[in-house]
Every structure is written in structure tokens, then in C-alpha cells.
Amino acid sequence: MNNQLIDSQGRHFPYLRLSITDMCNYSCQYCLPDGYQCDTRKDYLSITEIHHLITAFAALGTWKIRLTGGEPTLRRDLTDIIKTIKSIPGIRQIAMTTNGYKLKQRVSGWVDAGLTHLNASVDTLDPRLFNSLTGHDRLTEILEGIDHALTLPLKKIKLNAVLLKKVNSHLFREYARLLKNKKLSMRFIELMQTGDNYEYFKKYHVSAQVLKNFLLSEGWSEKLKDIGSGPALEYIHPEYEGSFGVISPYSKDFCKSCNRLRVSSTGDFHLCLFGEQGYSIRHLLQHSSQQEELQSRLCQLLNKKNDKHFLHDGNTGITPHLASVGG
């Protein structure tokens, strides 16, 4: 059996994004403007199931795990999940994307458990606008949590912002000032159309090229990609401690460097964030004796992966919003 995750285009997949819940306590305008809605109780993957899942991926060459949601910090057993993943041979990076909820109070425990990389969402540096965008007046608290995280032995801290026309697309200099003396990566993600945000997308989408143009005009230069990096571009400047990142899914050949796969919080394997379907593998996560069958199934399903997404055609697949699969 093939012992590596390689698709028909020859792309390798060392990176798994694992959603551990689809719940979120924020109501961001571009994702869950009406807040999290759920009529029935969800049965999320257990720690045992997560252990079996990550063990299989690690055996197939995956070494980077990112915990996502919804909001992953809403899982009460988050620290134990991190510890479990850290114990699995072959895993070298454990990252997490969070909205920053209780970051200052809890990040030390996550790092002690094995967290190596952290992403926190900061769509604006204006407290009032942050409140309007997310439904929470917590920007100061989140920035304090980021400052605390900078004192810990994390290998990299990234701030995420969704690029929004006339909301933050004209404020790059404010973010640059934040990066002057702080070793942060400020990553702007081009707004993507999902199943339920068409009108918002039409109003607020702007090409990530506006950020690239700004950076080049200000003396920033593109950095060579690190091992395990995906389609994101990173820009550095000799006078700044931090860096800018640009994720532009509508750019030409964006998918050629795809290196990530996804598993949902209820055990569906997704080949693409904007794919037409997920494939349930939960029945293969119940016992350690199923490892060979699980690995074989993952490799078989990978043959179904397309060479690109179809966002340019307005086809968002089955993704209703980014919290549903983990962004």
C-alpha cells in the first residue's frame, strides 16, 4: 500500500486541518452574521477517535495538524486533545486557529500541552469596528492575549484578517505599525464566496492584489516558502520584525501548491474546502485494529481530489459558511 498521501497531480499532503467543533461564540458578518445556529445536538469526534485519525494520517506522511472550528477553544477537552496529538509519532507541528476567546488566560496551558503554532483572528485594529464585525467588544483583550503569547515558546504566531473592501483594505499601514517591533505574521485572506454569503461577497470582496501592490510599493519583498507551506505568500521587510501574509484563492494557479486536507468535527473527510461532498470515515475511527483499512480508504479517496476549486464559476460546493468545515 502507498505509504504517502499523494494525489493524481503529484501533490503531497503533509498538512491536516481538523475541525473539532462547528460551534462558534462570535457572529462575524462574513461567516455567521446571525450567530451559530443548531437545532440538534452534534456528536463531535472523541479524543479516542481523534487519536486513531491522526495516527493514520501520520503513518501516511502528515506531520502538521491544525485544530480549527467553529471555535476550537469551546471544546472543554481542548488541552487533552493537544496532548493526545503531541504523543503521536511523526507529528511535528500542532497549530490552532482561534478567535482569541480567553487567549490570555489559556494559551500557556495549550503551549505546555504541545501547541507549537497559533493563529488569532484580528480583522481590524479599531475596537468599535471590531465589535461591529464580530458582535464582541474584545479587541483589547485579544491583543493582550497575543502579547502574552509572544512571551511563550511558540514557533510562530499569525494574525488573520479577512480582506474586506473599505473596511480594512485601506488600513494596511496600521497593521504595518503593529509589525514594526513584534514578531508576528499578519495574514490577509481574500474574502471567499460561500453558500450563504453571496450578497455580502458582492459588496465586500476585493482582490488580494491591492495588498500585494501596497507591499511592493513600500519595499516589502516576497519570502521563500518554508517547508510545509501551502499557497500563502509571505512578505518581509528589513526594517520590520513581523511579516505580511497573503492568501488569494482567486489568483491564478492558487491550487497548484495545495498541501492540506480536512476532516470535519463529525468525521467527514473533505478533499477541498469547496468540494461537492465529504466522505464519512468515522466508522473507521473506532478501534486501533482498523488502521490499515483507514489508511487505505484515505488513499483511495484522495484519488477523487480535483486539480482546482471552482470558485471562479461561483461554485462554492457544499460549504454553507467557513465555520462548517473549519476554513
Task: List, in order of start, the domains of the chain with CATH numbers.
Answer: 15-324 (3.20.20.70)
Segments in the chain forming alpha helices (H):
47-59, 78-86, 103-113, 127-134, 139-149, 172-179, 198-204, 209-217, 291-302
Of 188, 215, 186, 191, which is closest to residue 204 (Cα–Cα)? Answer: 191
DSSP string, 32-59: -TT----SS---PPPHHHHHHHHHHHHH
**CA distance linking residue 296 with residue 27, whole number of Å:** 39
CA atoms 137, 113, 242, 12: torsion sign: negative
**CA distance linking residue 274 with residue 71, whole number of Å:** 20
- Return the C-alpha torsion angle 288, 291, 294, 299, nearest 10: 160
Q: What is the pLDDT along the chain (327 residues), one digit of tens a residue?
A: 446 899 888 888 999 999 999 999 898 988 888 787 776 778 999 999 999 999 999 999 999 999 999 999 999 999 999 999 999 999 999 999 999 999 999 999 999 999 999 999 999 999 999 999 999 999 999 999 999 999 999 999 999 999 999 999 999 999 999 999 999 999 999 998 876 778 898 999 999 999 999 999 999 999 988 776 667 899 999 999 999 999 987 766 667 778 899 999 999 999 987 666 789 999 999 999 999 999 999 999 998 887 754 444 444 445 555 555 655
The cell numbers describing 241, all together, are 520584525
Place of cell 446571525: 34
Q: What's 6's DSSP letter?
A: B
Chain segment 33-55, per-residue pLDDT in tens: 878 777 677 899 999 999 999 99
Listed as own residue / partner, the contacts of 106-109 with beta carbons closer than 8 Å and 24 or more positions apart are 106/73, 107/145, 107/148, 107/149, 107/152, 108/148, 108/152, 109/79
> Model's pTM, two decimal places?
0.90
Identify whether the C-beta of residue 184 lies closer than 8 Å to the C-beta of residue 178: yes
Predicted confidence at residue 8, as pLDDT, reads 86
The cell numbers describing 170, all together, are 485601506
Angle at 195 between CA 191 and CA 200, to 5 degrees: 45
Of 75, 112, 86, 82, which is closest to residue 96 (Cα–Cα)? Answer: 82
Segments in 156-266 forming alpha helices (H):
172-179, 198-204, 209-217
Chain segment 113-142, per-residue pLDDT in tens: 999 999 999 999 999 999 999 999 999 999
**CA distance linking residue 84 with residue 50, whole number of Å:** 8
Of 229, 268, 226, 224, which is closest to residue 14 (Cα–Cα)? Answer: 229
